[in-house]
A and B are shown apart, each in its own frame.
Chain A
Amino acid sequence: MTYPSIFPTGATLYDPSRCWNGYTVFQAKEVGALLIDMNGGEVQLWKELHGMPNRLLPGGHLIGSTGERSTAFGSQDGIDLVQVDWDGNVVWRFNQYEFIEDPGEAPQWMARQHHDYQREGNPVGYYAPGLEPLADRGNTMILAHKNVRNPAICDKPLLDDSIIEVNWEGEVIWEWVCSDHFDELGLREDARNLLFRNPNWLKSGGGVGDWMHINSMSLLGPNRWFDAGDNRFHPDNIIWCARESNITAIVDKQTGRIVWRLGPNYDETPELRRLGWIIGQHHAHMIPRGLPGEGHILVFDNGGWAGYGSPNPGSPTGFRNALRDYSRVLEIDPVSLQVVWQYTPVEAGLAFPVDANRFYSPFISSAQRLPNGNTLITEGSGGRIIEVTAGHETVWEYISPYWGRMLKINMIYRAYRVPYEWVPQIEKPAEQAIERIDVTRFRLPGASPRGARRTVDVAGVLPYRPDAALCVRTDVAESP
């Protein structure tokens, strides 16, 4: 599809009266943790503080990482997880998950954190009334890597995902390792067979299979399902999703067993078929209590390429055999599996399917429910953050101006909106509306205005038809 090479960055659209106004924090590519206001003003940069993701805590503290392990030996291994104050001082650090001795590197402890973590007090890591994350104490749940061998899965070394709970003193007090639950994942024989032969092989450290690639982890928190007696949704239980397997699951914190699962197969019941194949998804979490949609699962269904299964024309080996070239944000009732709300290319106002991939991020990305019912969506691969209303109107848009020097992309892994009150060090900024520019009239200096200098009439021409045929069908019935 066609994308312009010239377009504005920063805040491009803003309706203060319809937004849930606050600061937005994200990891600016190869720059650091950046806090911006609603007009895109760069309030503060924690220079070169990494973060996957960065999160702001009440009091102006920020969580991130001081760096990543060399990709020669690891993949997305955060050396540590640190909490820094407004002035950048480290006030908490965890790194003692594994002692790493990579050739040519100084031996050191590493957290091996990747993709997610949650500080006690808040189950999902974003603002919800009465669920403030603790900034001066408390335990932290961390998604980490662990290298394992498990011949039931594959004869090759595996880069496994683990979830650990560490206390304020840095002790690991709970651990869950994904490969221990291989038989609970619902993988069919064709998937198991392929996984054994190709566990998503990475070259790092002599070769390792990143077989699940869990990319989000949060707690359920208090919710109506548990209140009604459904123990699968105990507030301490943990929800995660894994892009390579297309699985979203809930783990019982007490037993470690998987008690609720969505995927890897979406063709086994009428409810799943209606839901459609979720592919390479990110940031699956339960909307926390106190926010509109509380108790529903909100997920950024990337599309792209993921999954293990039987070969098909798009996947000759069956590796990453599920394919789709647009994304969806889905809000799902976890019991009925009904889609309660969605934001797809159709809701974005794009012609489906011919223009659907204008809403598309095949990796990273996220969705955050805001207190006024809006949803903050990070369409990560293009560095775009939007705030959309429940009625799907875009009331805020921001494009990251930060392209990496090493990786030339302005990607945003995951952005979060936080209340102004969480940054008491500065005055609340001014909020100035940004009107939507009429791109049909917008011109750069030197460019000619729209409109032909001379128009002639041609006898016998017919008016354009509203049902004009394209080379492919545009059929609302096929839309997501």
Chain B
Amino acid sequence: MSLILFTATGCARCQIAKKFMREKDLGFAEHDAVGEGKELFGKFYRAHRAAIVRGAEGIEFPVLADGPEVRQGVAAVIAWLQAGARLDGFIGRSDVSRGWVGGLHVSKGDPAAMEDLVGVLGFLKRNGLKLQLDTDGRNAAVLEHLLAQGLGDRVVMELKGPRALYAAMTGGSIEPEEVHRSMVRVAGFPEHRFETTVAPVARTAEDSEGIRYLTPDEVAETALWLKTATGSHRQPYVLHVFDPQADPDDRFRSVEMLTPAVLLRHRSAARRHQVLTEIE
């Protein structure tokens, strides 16, 4: 294994990644991407733009190169070092900062990799990072296990839509009861919130004519489901605008993007059952 770790001067998360590598006795070459390794990293970045995200605050470090494999961010780097690609579904790029780690997708990984997941999250947590878990209801047992282990500080649940559309919107089969079970667990966690992205839905299989956005009534049904499952009409519930360009499903790329103003009707409908609904 030939590991190269790009770090940045003063980067605390880079220190955590290096600590993990030392504990695992993993040899690596380190280059400070804003110091002596600036030129080298520039060259590396130009060759791997697709794998390295430049966010609003610049490039997040550390960045790990393991042969052709590139991982960015402390969680993704440690996950790769711990279990290779087996945790790729669970751990992605974090979009939160200032002491928090996000991109921890409870619903998108293979439950068989649970032991490795617990190991990675436990290491992050022991080193002072706060963990934001996200779920869409799948893998309810994984969520329950992680929270029982204290491996979560905030939980965000994406409610894809109403019961009848849920399986179609998650791209496979899912039992509404499992979503219900996740809702109950999330609502019982001290710091949590529920979200729905008002997204297009393929109403009929393989028929682009059948693609239509969630309607206000369908969002209201979703809010009602949330109320029924959690017994509360006061859940923190947020609606998001769908970004067609960021969606991996090619069928939705040509869908016209809604404006936040359009979502006002969805908010009004949702507030019939969840009074704190807002648009972000």
Q: Which residues of A contact B (CB under 8 A)?
A: 96, 99, 109, 170-175
> Which residues of the other chain, A, contact B234 by a CB distance below 8 angstroms?
99
Do the beta carbons of A171 and B269 come within 8 Å of each other? yes
Known A96-B268, A172-B265; further 4 A-B contacts with Cβ < 8 A? A172-B267, A172-B268, A174-B261, A175-B264
> Which residues of the other chain, A, contact B216 by a CB distance below 8 angstroms?
171
* Nearest CB on B from A458, distance (A): 80
Residues 228-276 (chain B) with a chain A CB within 8 angstroms:
234, 261, 264-265, 267-269, 271, 275-276
Do the beta carbons of B275 and A170 come within 8 Å of each other? no
The chain A residue sitting closest to B268, CB to CB, is A171
Query: What are the 10 tightest A-B residue pairs by CB atom distance, in nearest-first order?
Result: A99-B275, A171-B268, A172-B264, A172-B268, A173-B264, A171-B265, A175-B264, A173-B265, A174-B261, A96-B271
* Nearest CB on A from B115, distance (A): 42
* Nearest CB on B from A236, distance (A): 13
Q: Name the one of B264, B271, B275, B276 contacting A174, with C-beta atoms under 8 angstroms.
A: B264
Do the beta carbons of A99 and B276 come within 8 Å of each other? yes
The chain A residue sitting closest to B267, CB to CB, is A172
> Which residues of the other chain, B, contact A109 by a CB distance below 8 angstroms?
275
10 of the cross-chain contacts (CB-CB < 8 Å) are: A96-B268, A96-B271, A99-B275, A99-B276, A109-B275, A171-B216, A171-B264, A172-B265, A173-B264, A175-B261
Alpha-carbon distance between A439 and B265 when the two chains are bound, in angstroms: 60
Alpha-carbon distance between A174 and B267 when the two chains are bound, in angstroms: 11
> Which residues of the other chain, A, contact B276 by a CB distance below 8 angstroms?
99
Alpha-carbon distance between A467 and B35 when the two chains are bound, in angstroms: 83
> Which residues of the other chain, B, contact A175 by a CB distance below 8 angstroms?
261, 264
* Nearest CB on B from A32, distance (A): 31
Alpha-carbon distance between A173 and B275 when the two chains are bound, in angstroms: 17
Alpha-carbon distance between A170 and B268 when the two chains are bound, in angstroms: 8
Main secondary structure of the interface of B (DSSP, over half): helix
> Which residues of the other chain, A, contact B271 by a CB distance below 8 angstroms?
96, 99
Alpha-carbon distance between A133 and B276 when the two chains are bound, in angstroms: 32
> Which residues of the other chain, B, contact A171 by a CB distance below 8 angstroms?
216, 264-265, 268-269
* Nearest CB on A from B259, distance (A): 10
* Nearest CB on B from A439, distance (A): 56
Q: Sort chain B's interface into a size bin.
A: 10 to 19
The chain B residue sitting closest to A96, CB to CB, is B271
> Which residues of the other chain, B, contact A174 by a CB distance below 8 angstroms?
261, 264
* Nearest CB on B from A190, distance (A): 31
Alpha-carbon distance between A72 and B271 when the two chains are bound, in angstroms: 25
The chain A residue sitting closest to B274, CB to CB, is A99
> Which residues of the other chain, A, contact B275 by a CB distance below 8 angstroms?
99, 109
Alpha-carbon distance between A139 and B234 when the two chains are bound, in angstroms: 28
Alpha-carbon distance between A17 and B95 when the two chains are bound, in angstroms: 72
Alpha-carbon distance between A172 and B266 when the two chains are bound, in angstroms: 9
> Which residues of the other chain, B, contact A99 by a CB distance below 8 angstroms?
234, 271, 275-276
The chain A residue sitting closest to B216, CB to CB, is A171
Alpha-carbon distance between A174 and B259 when the two chains are bound, in angstroms: 11
The chain B residue sitting closest to A170, CB to CB, is B268
* Nearest CB on B from A222, distance (A): 23
Interface centre among B234, B265, B268, B276 (most CB of A within 10 A): B268
Alpha-carbon distance between A172 and B271 when the two chains are bound, in angstroms: 11
Alpha-carbon distance between A171 and B262 when the two chains are bound, in angstroms: 12
Alpha-carbon distance between A172 and B239 when the two chains are bound, in angstroms: 15
Alpha-carbon distance between A109 and B261 when the two chains are bound, in angstroms: 21
Interface centre among B261, B265, B276 (most CB of A within 10 A): B261
* Nearest CB on A from B264, distance (A): 5
Alpha-carbon distance between A99 and B264 when the two chains are bound, in angstroms: 16
Alpha-carbon distance between A172 and B267 when the two chains are bound, in angstroms: 8
* Nearest CB on A from B215, distance (A): 13
* Nearest CB on A from B156, distance (A): 20
Alpha-carbon distance between A109 and B265 when the two chains are bound, in angstroms: 17
Alpha-carbon distance between A99 and B267 when the two chains are bound, in angstroms: 13
Alpha-carbon distance between A270 and B238 when the two chains are bound, in angstroms: 49
Alpha-carbon distance between A175 and B264 when the two chains are bound, in angstroms: 8
> Which residues of the other chain, A, contact B267 by a CB distance below 8 angstroms?
172
Q: When each residue 107-151 of chain B gets 1 if its CB lies under 8 Å from chain A and 0 otherwise, what string results?
A: 000000000000000000000000000000000000000000000
Alpha-carbon distance between A194 and B64 when the two chains are bound, in angstroms: 48
Alpha-carbon distance between A119 and B261 when the two chains are bound, in angstroms: 20
> Which residues of the other chain, A, contact B269 by a CB distance below 8 angstroms?
171
* Nearest CB on A from B260, distance (A): 8
> Which residues of the other chain, A, contact B261 by a CB distance below 8 angstroms?
173-175
> Which residues of the other chain, B, contact A173 by a CB distance below 8 angstroms?
261, 264-265, 268
Alpha-carbon distance between A174 and B271 when the two chains are bound, in angstroms: 15
The chain A residue sitting closest to B260, CB to CB, is A175
The chain B residue sitting closest to A254, CB to CB, is B261
* Nearest CB on B from A70, distance (A): 19
The chain B residue sitting closest to A109, CB to CB, is B275
Alpha-carbon distance between A99 and B234 when the two chains are bound, in angstroms: 9
> Which residues of the other chain, B, contact A172 by a CB distance below 8 angstroms?
264-265, 267-268
Alpha-carbon distance between A96 and B268 when the two chains are bound, in angstroms: 8
The chain B residue sitting closest to A99, CB to CB, is B275
Residues 165-224 (chain B) with a chain A CB within 8 angstroms:
216
Alpha-carbon distance between A34 and B249 when the two chains are bound, in angstroms: 61
* Nearest CB on A from B145, distance (A): 35
Alpha-carbon distance between A170 and B234 when the two chains are bound, in angstroms: 20
> Which residues of the other chain, B, contact A96 by a CB distance below 8 angstroms?
268, 271
Interface centre among B216, B267, B271 (most CB of A within 10 A): B271
Alpha-carbon distance between A96 and B265 when the two chains are bound, in angstroms: 12
The chain B residue sitting closest to A100, CB to CB, is B275
* Nearest CB on A from B272, distance (A): 8
The chain A residue sitting closest to B276, CB to CB, is A99
The chain A residue sitting closest to B275, CB to CB, is A99
* Nearest CB on A from B157, distance (A): 21
Alpha-carbon distance between A173 and B266 when the two chains are bound, in angstroms: 9
* Nearest CB on B from A110, distance (A): 11
The chain A residue sitting closest to B266, CB to CB, is A171
Alpha-carbon distance between A173 and B276 when the two chains are bound, in angstroms: 17
* Nearest CB on B from A173, distance (A): 5
> Which residues of the other chain, B, contact A170 by a CB distance below 8 angstroms?
268
Alpha-carbon distance between A170 and B265 when the two chains are bound, in angstroms: 10
> Which residues of the other chain, A, contact B268 by a CB distance below 8 angstroms?
96, 170-173
Residues 46-97 (chain B) with a chain A CB within 8 angstroms:
none
Interface centre among A170, A171, A174 (most CB of B within 10 A): A171
Interface centre among A99, A109, A174 (most CB of B within 10 A): A99
* Nearest CB on A from B275, distance (A): 3
